[in-house]
Amino acid sequence: DAGITQSPRHKVTETGTPVTLRCHQTENHRYMYWYRQDPGHGLRLIHYSYGVKDTDKGEVSDGYSVSRSKTEDFLLTLESATSSQTSVYFCAISEGLGRGRENNQPQHFGDGTRLSIL
């Protein structure tokens, strides 16, 4: 298994509170991603990073922010959680072989964080 650790694995919190999810990798891969998985929607990309301090928005980025201050960690923050952000969140990594944003390597996933917002 790829060395990806997501924390926490489960969290229950209240609407309006800030929440930060952490993804830690030991593979020294360049690319990191945050997805959410919801019934009927499959996986949807929230944000991704193509290097330290280099991030970009995905399909469902509203209400989320990310930070990547070092290669091994990618943080996802919900500034003020809402019930619609109740979901399972997956982190993924991939090895970039090209310049800039080129990346033709498969993504490997963590085990997910189940987040419930009441």
Partner 1 sequence: GEDVEQSLFLSVREGDSSVINCTYTDSSSTYLYWYKQEPGAGLQLLTYIFSNMDMKQDQRLTVLLNKKDKHLSLRIADTQTGDSAIYFCAERPGNTPLVFGKGTRLSVIA
Max intra-chain CA distance, the chain: 43
d(CA 78, CA 66): 9
Q: How far is the CB of 100 from partner 1 (least distance, A)?
A: 8
45 binds partner 1, rule: CB under 8 A: yes
- From 3, 51, 58, 63, residue interacting with partner 1 (rule: CB under 8 A): 58
CA distances from residue 43 to 18, 38, 89 in whole angstroms, order as listed: 23, 7, 9
33 binds partner 1, rule: CB under 8 A: yes
42 binds partner 1, rule: CB under 8 A: yes
40 binds partner 1, rule: CB under 8 A: yes
- From 20, 67, 86, 103, residue interacting with partner 1 (rule: CB under 8 A): 103
Catalogue the E-assigned strands of 15-107. 19-25, 31-38, 42-51, 54-57, 64-70, 73-78, 87-94
Number of residues that bind partner 1 (CB under 8 A): 25
Phi–psi pair at 67, nearest 5 degrees: -145, 145
Q: Which residues bind partner 1 (CB under 8 A)?
A: 31, 33, 40-43, 45, 48, 58-59, 90, 92, 98, 100-104, 106-112
